[in-house]
Amino acid sequence: MDIGRVSGIEFGQVIRNRREARGMDIDALCAAIGGTPGVAFLARLEEGSVGASSSLVLNIAGILDLPSAAMLNAAGYATADQRVLAIANLSALDVADQRRSDA
């Protein structure tokens, strides 16, 4: 199994979807993190071409108001089954947020 993809949904896509749902561009996410890592790294993370340290995952989870444990699991700090469940749960949050913003 490719570490960056579970059931066709990438961890980076969860970040991008939530960031965009919050009206943040990637520069704003970078600034909220404190500028390190930079925008180029965050773009590659969202594309699924690089992974994130656990501390970065926790930082992003806090900024985007996502459950820390689910984000860690989705980022690969879990078994494959835990990761699949975490990505499904995080994706469901994106759908719920989108429905609220459309209402």
Domains of the chain, each with CATH number or no CATH: 8-97 (1.10.260.40)
Whether the Cβ atoms of residue 9 and residue 93 lie closer than 8 Å to each other: no
The pLDDT of 45-56, averaged and rounded, is 92
Rounded distance between C-alpha atoms, residue 21 and residue 101, angstroms: 8
Three-state SS at 96: helix
pLDDT tens per residue, range 67-98: 998 899 888 888 788 888 888 888 888 777 77
Rounded distance between C-alpha atoms, residue 103 and residue 99, angstroms: 6
Tell me the backbone φ, ψ of residue 40, rounded to 5 degrees. -60, -40
What is the value of pTM for the model shown? 0.75
The pLDDT of 16-31, averaged and rounded, is 97
Rounded distance between C-alpha atoms, residue 65 and residue 39, angstroms: 20
